[in-house]
Structure 1
Amino acid sequence: MVGTGGPVATFSVWDYVVFAGTILASAGVGLFAAIRGRKETSSAEFLLGGRQMTAVPVAMSLTASFMSGITVIGTPAEAYMFGAEFWLFAISYAIMSTVTAELFVPLFYRLGITSAYEYLELRFSRPIRLIGTSMYIVQTALYTGLVIYAPALALNQITGLDLWGVLVATGAVCIVYCTLGGLKAVIWTDVMQMVIMLAGFVAVIARGAVLQGGLNKIWEDASKGGRLEVFDFNPDPRQRHTFWSIVVGGSMMWISIYSINQSQVQRYISCKTLRQAKLSLYVNMVGLWVTVSLAMFSGLTMYSIYKNCDPLTNGDVGTSDQLLPYLVMDILAEYPGIPGLFVAAAYSGTLSTVSSSINALVAVTSEDFILPVFKNLTQKQVTWMNMGMSIFYGALCIGMAGVASLMGNILQAALSLFGVISGPLLGLYLLGMLFRTPNSIGSLTGMIIGLTLTLWAWIGGQIYPPTADKTNPLPLSTLNCNSTIGQNYTTTAPWTSPVTLQPDVRPILADTLYSLSYVYIGLMGTLTTIVFGMVVSMMTGGCTQEKRNSDLFVQKKDLICFSCCSKSEASDVTEKAATEFYMGADNLTFTDFDVMSKDVQKSTRL
């Protein structure tokens, strides 16, 4: 009987057919893109889709890139255990989209960059660029490991297939279409995978509504269970989720993900016009709203069904991240192919993120480390090199999935990871974009201090976890369970998780810095970097630097879309005048911009 615990059904033949068909379709898109563009083998085509993409597919790709299997698996579990406060991230998405579109996109688009970290060299120095790139590579490899691990949990839970076999298969599919198709394959595959991911949520909600007697009953159960108490205005920064932590800390965290992360930057700079690039972020905002809303309502549906028999407490699943897969097999197993669709949804989110990460890692490695040293490589050699690096990074990310198995709740682990590394890195960019005083010495010092502080807080939080009253889930019951504990499939992690230390005496920082909400870690890193970067810069001659090119800074005209004249008018002016014109035109294409871009970049270097 649904909602009373115990073993659930496993995959049927039709489920395997649906699941396999989705995976093959994803790989097929990559093969199609490779065949269709076989004559267009330039590095720009492989890494940026020839800079001819439009807003809607790019927006769906932006959404799918970070709305991964972690979203499909982790967000419903968050709503089930902690309530709907996570829904407030919709406000953070709006703030993030506006800031990224109006501050970062015009700057990156104006400079015609391929790697987001090119800006750090133009504004500061090459060593800082390489440090920024290295931080991104470490962060992305770890994050991608988490992303691969999430659906492997799902498939292991409802099929019993070997976990490592699933991990390797996931990475292999991504390697195929990244290596063969480049960014165009990644983006168009993301579009298809986004549709499948949303369809999986809809299937869960629709079936749950039928079983529970309508959406109103689900909402009523969630309300009675305290799951709809969203607006907690407690200012305590140690509280896991509050209105302030999500809106303030969450906004800064998502800004660091979308504004300077190569996986995202690479998408919107592939758009053919600045207007399309900005529009892609605003369309993406709507996509994020839809995705998080469906994910949260799936979690509330799960609570309505299991309000009197929690599968986690009852031992039917091994971790909270297996709750939704368990629900799927409990309520949808009688419809052949539908559970396969759900697992395909989880995998679709994963494939989109992993492929995005691999493509972005190839881009930054090529642009920041290899091409500046080996300047005489032919176009064919560069293309083969990019393909080889796709295979290397795919294998690396599969290996990182083993590390991810040790990091606990995948949703919180993923977001914490971005805060620790991207927070200080965002502070470095803001120093360069918004202020003229910061110099290389001061900015690098500020970022090192910021990174040290975020790592200190994060590692301390792992050793000395926050007290229970800050992290406890909402009440769950096993009153109506009728099964013995532990009968169903549970996951065996690639490696055994370490035992959490429980010291007899907690240090002073255990209830302050170490107990800080994971959402605030990135904000702390950003502010620390900015403050110390400014102070050290002023102490080391930042106020007496020679004047920098204004193209390196955020300008008032970046905030408003202008349509002063058409592209044909722009082509009639000189290169210098064209650069100045670009500041007031949003429909200048990269085709027109290629000529002037080199001169702009030369004039902005140290």
Structure 2
Amino acid sequence: MPGCSALGGFGVWDYLVFAGMLCVSAAIGVYYACVGRQDTSREFLVGGRQLTAVPVALSLTASFMSAVTVLGTPSEVYRFGAMFSVFAIAYALMVVLSAEVFLPVFYRLGITSTYEYLELRFNRYLRLCGTVLFIILTILYTGIVIYAPALALNQVTGMDLWGAVVTTGIVCTFYCTLGGLKAVVWTDVFQVGIMVAGFSAVIIRAVVVQGNIGHILNDSYHGGRLNFWNFNPNPLQRHTFWTIVIGGTSTWLGIYGISQSQVQRYIACKTRFQAKLGNKERSLYINLVGLWAILVCAVFCGLAMYSIYKDCDPWTAACVEAPDQLMPYLVLDILKDFPGVPGLFVASAYSGTLSTVSSSINALAAVTVEDLIKPYFTSLSERKLSWISRGMSLFYGGVCIAMAALASLLGGLLQAALSIFGMIGGPLLGLFSLGILCSFANPVGAFVGLICGFTSSLWVGIGAQIYPPLLHSTMALNLSTVGCNLTNAGTDEYRIGPTELLPSTASSNIHSPERPILADYWYSISYLYFSTLGTLVTVAVGIVISLLTGGLKQNVDRKFMLTKEDFLSNFSFLKPKQEEKVKVLTWRPFTMPDEGITNAAFNHIEMDISNSKEKVNNIHI
């Protein structure tokens, strides 16, 4: 397209669509505040463990599909190609490991905060360390998620940037504080429909504008965007098959496998088996289908964007100020003649933020109450704890709004978000892996491993922010202004896209004589390996220190470990046939109407397990 298109602003219908989404989201919170039981902290934080698999699965999908996904992923594909689609493999591995390794242990223990496990398995100090790291991680990430749709609104409507930030935080805090987890989950169900509709509108219109899907794919192929497979094992290259599959799996496993924001919804299901695979719907595996669908939509939007702007890049031509504004620019460019549709897209980005931030606020309130208040103030009644949970939701809503200011300093939204998860989530993943998989891991080894893992990932992460990787390792693809008719867009030249920092900053770092030798190797490692590095260092150091400090002499209760029965519980075709006979004969005495709702039921089951080895097999079938 020649030059920057004349973009219109919001019309009446756009505002109506956008306002309607906000009103419905707030109304759901009010509804559950009025009709839902919120007398105890357990009712407020985990919905009384009465939620079913489908809404939980949709809630997981909605919280994943934040504005970082809506805005960041299409821009990523536009600049670096469709290599990002290999994340489909990472998502599959992540879901299987979450469902088969971590979830069985968490659900069996009947815990509300995942960090309770660290005290049960190790000691109170490690639980405190895990809680503090999670709070830091979640607040930083939530700041990015709040800032992202504010960028979209600022670009599309001219609405004040920080006014949009505050509005986002207030709406999230409102319905999360009123309705608790039930409001969060059911609001997510509504919002995921809005997000899918927003993506669909852009895809359909882009196909119409370009004539057909084949035209878009042909342009992407000749522009080098269909670069799905790159098996170069070099860890310094930003995205390859190995960095995405290994590093991506580790990064997302730290989110889906152990993060309170996600696990809190798994354990809110009625039974453990309803949170896993079986003959009926199971939340994690249904969620995987949703993740794949989101990925396909986001990648195709990026390819369509390249097909439309292959001859006149809006970013190079200074039509937008940052790559993360490319998607809203595209929306107003191709949908400006359709009243209400641009509003639907902004509502889509905003819905992603509302779902993610509300989940984070609820999780922050949960870990604060369960890990920092209940253990030290044992005389508090459940009603008081319920009100404290609401107060914590309100408090963390304000903190997350304040932290959004940092997001403007972190460069590209997508890479910044995953880098933060890697630096903090990786060591935490290593800590939980030690506890669940290594029976000889002791508190000393776990603590030293956590410190070493966190130090190493923080070292490389901060170094990468100070000394950005070289352009050849980012593998940015060519962007053209050959079709632009602008005096400030340059001539018929091609330019390699910059890194996640601004072009001038990246160039000055690359040619600076003060760039240390570590910058071109250690600091240039792919940001997706931050989590893998933290996990491996934590596990390796934890194992060595545990063995040196008498870890083999300790006796760990089996209920804190992953067992063979846990791992195979979803795949009955892999079990010996004799186990099926035992199941039919002895399962009935253990069928309880309140199974999985209270800790007392789990305590009863665990007592029976310890008294009968035969019944252990039946519980895990």
TM-superposed CA distance for 1:597, in Å, is 2.6
TM-superposed CA distance for 1:40, in Å, is 4.1
Q: Does 1:446 align with 2:460?
A: no
Distance 2:360 2:168 in 1: 14
Distance 1:325 1:33 in 2: 33
| Paired residues of 2:5 and 2:333 also in contact (CA < 8 A) | no
* Letter paired with 2:560: L
2:366 corresponds in structure 1 to 363
* Letter paired with 1:20: A
TM-superposed CA distance for 1:484, in Å, is 5.1
Question: Secondary structure in 1 aligned to 2:97?
Answer: helix
TM-superposed CA distance for 1:157, in Å, is 0.3
Q: Does 1:543 align with 2:552?
A: yes
1:130 corresponds in structure 2 to 128
Of the structure 1 ranges 243-252 and 535-544, higher mean CA displacement relative to structure 2 is found in 535-544
Distance 1:498 1:48 in 2: 48
Distance 1:28 1:15, change over 3 A: same
The within-5 A match list for 1:285-434 is 285-434=288-437
Match 1:590 to one of 596, 599, 605: 596
TM-superposed CA distance for 1:590, in Å, is 1.0
2:590 corresponds in structure 1 to 570
Distance 1:354 1:497, change over 3 A: farther
Distance 2:245 2:38 in 1: 44
Match 1:205 to one of 187, 199, 203: 203
| Paired residues of 2:469 and 2:519 also in contact (CA < 8 A) | yes
Distance 1:497 1:130, change over 3 A: farther
2:484 corresponds in structure 1 to 481
Q: Give the total of aligned pairs.
A: 577
| Paired residues of 2:52 and 2:269 also in contact (CA < 8 A) | yes
Per-residue Cα deviation, 1:396-447 (whole angstroms, up to 9, x for no partner): 0001100011000000000011100010111111111111111111111011
Structure 1 spans left out of the alignment, 5+ residues: 487-495, 573-586
Distance 2:587 2:45 in 1: 25
Question: Secondary structure in 2 aligned to 1:418?
Answer: helix
TM-superposed CA distance for 1:498, in Å, is 12
Q: Does 1:63 align with 2:61?
A: yes
Distance 1:199 1:531 in 2: 46
The within-5 A match list for 1:71-220 is 71-220=69-218
| Paired residues of 1:406 and 1:497 also in contact (CA < 8 A) | no
Question: Secondary structure in 2 aligned to 1:308?
Answer: coil
TM-superposed CA distance for 1:6, in Å, is 3.8
TM-superposed CA distance for 1:5, in Å, is 1.9
Distance 2:400 2:227 in 1: 38
TM-superposed CA distance for 1:591, in Å, is 3.7
Distance 1:76 1:274 in 2: 36
Distance 1:42 1:3 in 2: 61
Distance 2:21 2:318 in 1: 31
TM-superposed CA distance for 1:392, in Å, is 0.5
| Paired residues of 1:426 and 1:526 also in contact (CA < 8 A) | yes
TM-superposed CA distance for 1:273, in Å, is 1.1
Distance 1:600 1:22, change over 3 A: same
| Paired residues of 1:406 and 1:498 also in contact (CA < 8 A) | no
TM-superposed CA distance for 1:7, in Å, is 3.6
Superposition CA RMSD, Å: 2.1
Distance 1:327 1:556 in 2: 51
| Paired residues of 2:594 and 2:601 also in contact (CA < 8 A) | no
Distance 2:475 2:234 in 1: 16
| Paired residues of 2:45 and 2:181 also in contact (CA < 8 A) | yes
Distance 1:300 1:294 in 2: 10
* Letter paired with 2:226: L
Question: Secondary structure in 2 aligned to 1:476?
Answer: strand
Distance 1:10 1:337 in 2: 11
Question: Secondary structure in 2 aligned to 1:49?
Answer: helix
* Letter paired with 2:223: G
1:234 corresponds in structure 2 to 232
The within-5 A match list for 1:36-51 is 36-37=35-36, 39-51=37-49
Distance 1:598 1:155, change over 3 A: farther
* Letter paired with 1:558: D
Q: Does 1:555 align with 2:554?
A: no
* Letter paired with 2:310: K
* Letter paired with 1:257: I
* Letter paired with 2:443: S
* Letter paired with 1:182: G
TM-superposed CA distance for 1:478, in Å, is 1.1
Distance 1:596 1:101, change over 3 A: closer
**Could you state the TM-score of these two structures normalised by the residue count of structure 1?**
0.92
Distance 1:72 1:485 in 2: 29
Distance 1:7 1:371, change over 3 A: same
TM-superposed CA distance for 1:499, in Å, is 6.3
Per-residue Cα deviation, 1:127-179 (whole angstroms, up to 9, x for no partner): 00000000000000000000000000000001111111000000000011000
Match 1:257 to one of 255, 258, 261: 255
Of the structure 1 ranges 382-391 and 110-119, higher mean CA displacement relative to structure 2 is found in 382-391
Distance 1:506 1:58 in 2: 48
TM-superposed CA distance for 1:589, in Å, is 2.5
| Paired residues of 1:209 and 1:215 also in contact (CA < 8 A) | yes
Distance 1:472 1:556 in 2: 43
2:619 corresponds in structure 1 to none
| Paired residues of 1:238 and 1:470 also in contact (CA < 8 A) | yes
| Paired residues of 1:145 and 1:403 also in contact (CA < 8 A) | yes
Structure 2 spans left out of the alignment, 5+ residues: 277-281, 490-501, 573-579, 611-621
| Paired residues of 1:7 and 1:316 also in contact (CA < 8 A) | no
Query: Percent of counterpart pairs with the same letter?
Result: 55
| Paired residues of 1:148 and 1:167 also in contact (CA < 8 A) | yes
Of the structure 1 ranges 314-323 and 459-468, higher mean CA displacement relative to structure 2 is found in 459-468
TM-superposed CA distance for 1:594, in Å, is 2.8
1:19 corresponds in structure 2 to 18
**Could you state the TM-score of these two structures normalised by the residue count of structure 2?**
0.90
Distance 1:210 1:439, change over 3 A: same
Distance 1:3 1:188 in 2: 45
1:493 corresponds in structure 2 to none
The within-5 A match list for 1:443-522 is 443-483=446-486, 485=488, 502=509, 503-522=512-531
Question: Secondary structure in 1 aligned to 2:479?
Answer: coil
* Letter paired with 1:552: F
* Letter paired with 2:273: R
| Paired residues of 1:156 and 1:163 also in contact (CA < 8 A) | yes
Match 1:523 to one of 525, 532, 553: 532
TM-superposed CA distance for 1:8, in Å, is 1.2
* Letter paired with 1:80: Y
The within-5 A match list for 1:266-281 is 266-278=264-276, 279-281=282-284
Per-residue Cα deviation, 1:566-603 (whole angstroms, up to 9, x for no partner): 9752158xxxxxxxxxxxxxx983147633438959x9
